[in-house]
Amino acid sequence: MKNSLPSFCFLIFSLVFFKASPNLPSHILNLQSTHKLDETVSVIYQNNTLFIKGIHVNGNLKIYSIIGNMIMDMNIQDFSKVVIPINLERQNLYIIRIETTDNRIFTHKIVAH
């Protein structure tokens, strides 16, 4: 019986809180982020060229080998359409890390063909 008391209290609290939630201020009820969460970045490595498309923002691009060695580090003015010629070793896995000036981070894994 002792174990059911906390569960019962939680149930009552939940019912009372959610019943009262329409009375809460609108800024508490609206939990949506002001950032676009559905933005995606496309990263493709083809014919010794890295293609990046997707976001219209400045930032930093880093390429790492799978064991953590940094291959490249460069600042990019606009990630909406980036073309970088780079020779990556075939059949190796690389991590592409994009850090934007508005503090978003995108990571992608690619296999060099």
Domain span including residue 83: 42-111
Q: In sequence order, what are the residues at sequence separation of 6 or more whose Cβ sits closer than 8 angstroms to the Cβ of residue 101?
A: 57, 58, 59
**pTM of the full structure:** 0.64
Split into its structural domains, the chain has a count of 1
pLDDT digits (tens, 9 = 90+) for 75-87: 999 988 999 999 9
Between 3-12, 37-46, 51-60, the lowest mean confidence (pLDDT) is in 3-12
Classify residue 11: in a domain, yes or no. Answer: no
Classify residue 106: in a domain, yes or no. Answer: yes
Lookup: tokens for 33: 């982020």
Classify residue 53: in a domain, yes or no. Answer: yes
Classify residue 8: in a domain, yes or no. Answer: no
Q: How confident is the model at residue 92 (pLDDT cuts 50, 70, 90)?
A: very high
Classify residue 88: in a domain, yes or no. Answer: yes
Classify residue 30: in a domain, yes or no. Answer: no
The domain that contains 46 carries what CATH number? Answer: 2.60.40.3080
